[in-house]
Amino acid sequence: MGDQDKKRQSRRGFLAGAAGIVAAGAARADNPQNQPPNVPDWTKTLGEGVGVRAYGLPSKHEQHVIRRTVPWLTATPESSVSFTPLHALDGIITPNGLCFERHHSGIAEIDPADHRLMLHGLVEKPLIFTVGDVMRFPRVNRIYFLECAANGGMEWRGAQLNGCQYTHGMVHCVEYTGVPLKVLLEEAGLKPNAKWILAEGADAAAMTRSIPLAKALDDCLVAYRMNGEMLRPENGYPLRLVVPGWEGNMWVKWLRRLKVGDEPWFTREETSKYTDLLENGKARQFTFVMDAKSVITSPSPQVPVRDKGFMVISGLAWSGRGKIARVDVSLDGGRNWKTARLDGPVLDKSCTRFYLEHHWNGEPLLLQSRAIDATGYVQPTKDALRKIRGVNSIYHNNGIQTWHLKPDGEVENVEVG
């Protein structure tokens, strides 16, 4: 931006000027009596006292910001998924009550007093931990994204769902408190031939996944807190495995058993499911890492643009291979790219927030974002991904998303050829 432009922008302000501010506010007002120069109703009476809201909830005006489901997607609610309302959030942290949920057999309701974590197999000393035992070990706090491998799975054959909540909402990013898995494994003592870990959940699905020992010793956690409070039941209370950067299915919830072995177990979740069928009939297996991905969360189909003029384009980027190095945004379907501004913490295997400010005159836009991670990996187009993977896959769709912003401000999920 030149000096002249800067001056002009500061003189004009970001909105359409003072008159614009009044108009923008008035357009959304229900009751003009509450507007300046009047004193609003809520200033004329005492408010509710402390203690009534023993566990705080968002304002009643924010009741639309909720996890949502796609009813036709699954046969039963016990084996289903709800989606994070990414379009209505900012920053990088997902509030606990809005983290998408994915259960294969419903939410296990666990009494922590009765819950145990068993550690056995190729160890010197098999151990059984109470939740209290786990909490006595030295602990760490880490912010990580969790993405279901099936995120975007409905979009392989073309644009399908109108909203980033549905196309990208199987991701959340929270701060975990827990014990490094390494610490527990060292407590038990690994036998020399130990190579893999089996993690098992205490839910009716008894979810089991094989995890290479190197990953277990690197950055996996047995977590009991998210965003400071104890895990929510739907996210694995009282214990869950955290497997940073790797597909969500491996983050076993309601963790009850860890077995050390010398080879993978080839469980249902790593043979019949969570493998990627290619065009030639072969399937990729053990595709653990979630590759770099990004999405513009606003504007997007659930948050159309109401006013012309200054506009903040905002989104999230993440990579299972490390930090996000750069995010590019295109307004013309990938022909030209601008470097977005990263704001807030840029952390390893975590969500990163990006922004691009734009002056919108009502021209149609084809909005895209493209993540580049610290390894130099560039998020591919959907067509590039289909060339190497075909369209039989469900999992690991990290192709570039396109939103069509129309002159009336509405936004639609589209693909560009």
Nearer to ligand MTE, 94 or 294 (CB): 94
Among 180, 248, 264, 309, contact with Co ion (rule: CB under 5 A): 248
Q: Report CA dihedral (120, 121, 124, 127) to the nearest 10 degrees.
A: 0
Question: For 252-298, where are the alpha helices, taking DSSP H only?
Answer: none
Q: Which of 201, 245, 299, 320 binds ligand MTE (CB under 6 A)?
A: 201
148 binds Co ion (CB under 5 A): yes
Q: Least distance (Å) from ligand MTE to the CB of residue 207?
A: 3
Per partner kind, with CB cut-offs from 5 to 8 A, the member of Co ion, ligand MTE, none near residue 252 is ligand MTE
Q: How many helices (H) and strands (E) does the chain have?
A: 7, 23
- Is 104 a binder of ligand MTE (CB under 6 A)? yes
| Rounded CA separation 41/216 (Å) | 57
Rounded Cα gap, residues 115 and 78, in angstroms: 22
Residue 211 interacts with ligand MTE (CB under 6 A): yes or no = no
| DSSP type of residue 246 | B
Q: x-or-dash pattern for Co ion, window 79-108, by CB under 5 A? A: -----------------------x------
Pick from 92, 98, 99, 400: which binds ligand MTE (CB under 6 A)?
99
Q: Which CB sits closer to Co ion, 224 or 246?
A: 246
Beta bridge mates, 119: 127, 258
17: Cβ–Cβ under 8 A, 6 or more apart, which residues? Answer: none
- Using the rule CB under 5 A, is 210 a contact of Co ion? no
Question: What is the H or E stretch that residue 388 is in?
Answer: helix 382-389
Contact map string, positions 219 to 238, toward ligand MTE, x by CB under 6 A = ---------------xx---
Q: Pairing relation of β-strands 324-330 and 309-318?
A: unpaired
C-alpha separations of 290 from 53, 59, 281, 397 in Å: 39, 35, 22, 9
* Cβ-based nearer residue to ligand MTE, 40 or 112: 112
Measured between alpha carbons, how far is 123 from 409 in angstroms, rounded to an integer?
61
Which one, 205 or 329, has the nearer CB to ligand MTE? 205
Under rule CB under 6 A, residue 293 binds ligand MTE: no
Three-class SS of residue 152? coil
Q: Is 203 in the site for ligand MTE (CB under 6 A)?
A: yes
Is residue 393 involved in binding Co ion (CB under 5 A)? no
Q: Give the separation between CA 372 and CA 317, rounded to whole angstroms.
A: 9
What number of other Cβ atoms are within 10 A of residue 331's Cβ?
Answer: 20
d(CA 363, CA 318): 30
Choosing among Co ion, ligand MTE, none, which partner's interface includes residue 298 (Cβ < 5 to 8 Å by kind)?
none
Please choose which of ligand MTE, Co ion, none residue 103 contacts, taking the beta carbon within 5 to 8 angstroms, the exact cut-off set by kind: ligand MTE
Q: Which residue is nearest to ligand MTE (CB)?
A: 201
Q: Which of 84, 165, 235, 249 binds Co ion (CB under 5 A)?
A: 249
Contact (Cβ atoms closer than 8 angstroms) between residue 274 and residue 208: no
Applying CB under 5 A, does 245 fall inside the site for Co ion? no
Site for ligand MTE contains 253 (CB under 6 A): yes
Size of the site for ligand MTE (CB under 6 A): 21
The answer to whether 134 and 272 are in contact (CB under 8 A) is: no
Exposed / middle / buried, residue 327 (Cβ in 10 Å: 0-12, 13-18, 19+): buried
Minimal distance, residue 271 CB to ligand MTE, in Å = 15
Give the residues lining the site for ligand MTE (CB under 6 A).
99-104, 146, 148, 172, 201, 203, 205, 207, 234-235, 248-249, 251-254
| Binding residues vs Co ion (CB under 5 A) | 102, 148, 248-249
